[in-house]
Structure 1
C-alpha cells in the first residue's frame, strides 16, 4: 500500500498541481550499495539555497542512511529539478542548529536532538 500511495503522491509532485502538497517534493538518488533508483516523496523546507529534511520516525526508515556520507540527489517539484548533495547532519555538525531552526520556522514539527536531519546543498 505504501508504494501505491508514494506513486500517487509522486505523480502529483511532478504535475502542475504540485502546489497542493505544500513542501512535499520528490527525492531521487541511486542507492550507494544496491545501485537501485530510489524515488520517494519527502517534506522539505528551504534554507538559503539548501533544503532541509526532517526524517519522521527515522528508526522505521532506511532511505536516509544513504546520506550518512555526502551523496548525490535530485529533488523534483513540478518540472523543476534541483541537483544536490544530501548529508545527514550529526549532532556536532555546526550547520545543524541553523537547519533545525529553518525547519521549525515553517513547520509545526519540533526538531529534537536525536531527530535525523538531512541537508541538501546545491551541487
Structure 2
C-alpha cells in the first residue's frame, strides 16, 4: 500500500500560503505565489511561497542566494509542480535556466519588470514554469 505523506510546512509559510488563497492576502502579498512539488531524490512533497513574475502561461522564479538553497535543483532538466496562483493550485512544468542559456536574458527581463529591484547583472538561476492546465 502506498502512503501519502503530508508535507511539513513551517508556520510562517503556512500563514503566507493561507493568505495567498484569499483576495485580500493576494493584494497584500503581491508578487508571491505558492509552489508545490515532489522532491526527485526524497520523494517528499515540498510546499513553499516564492516571489514570481507571470507573463501569460509563463511564470518565472528567480532563485536568490541559490548557493544556499537546494529546492531549485529539482527542476534541472524539467520537473512537474503546482503553483498557487489567483487563489488556486495550477499544474505546471518547471525547468531551471542558468545564465548560459539563450533564453536567460528574456526571462530575467520579464522577472525584473515585475521586481524592478532585481539586479540587472545577476547570474542567479531562474526556474521557468509553463502552466499546463487551463484556467
- When normalised by structure 1's length, the TM-score is 0.89
| Higher alpha-carbon deviation: 29-38 or 108-117 | 108-117
Distance in structure 2 (CA, Å) of the matches to 1:52 and 1:87 = 10
Q: Does 1:106 align with 2:102?
A: no
Bigger Rg, which one: 2
Structure 1's unaligned 5+ residue stretches are none
Where has structure 1 moved over 4 Å in runs of 4 or more? none
Aligned residue pairs total: 122
Residues 1:8 and 1:82: Cα distance change in structure 2 (over 3 Å): same
Say whether the 8 Å CA contact 1:54–1:111 is kept in structure 2: no
Give the aligned CA root-mean-square deviation in angstroms: 1.7
- For residue 43 of structure 1, what is the aligned residue in structure 2? 51
Distance in structure 2 (CA, Å) of the matches to 1:91 and 1:85 = 20
Question: Which structure features the higher share of strand residues?
Answer: 1
Distance in structure 2 (CA, Å) of the matches to 1:58 and 1:14 = 27
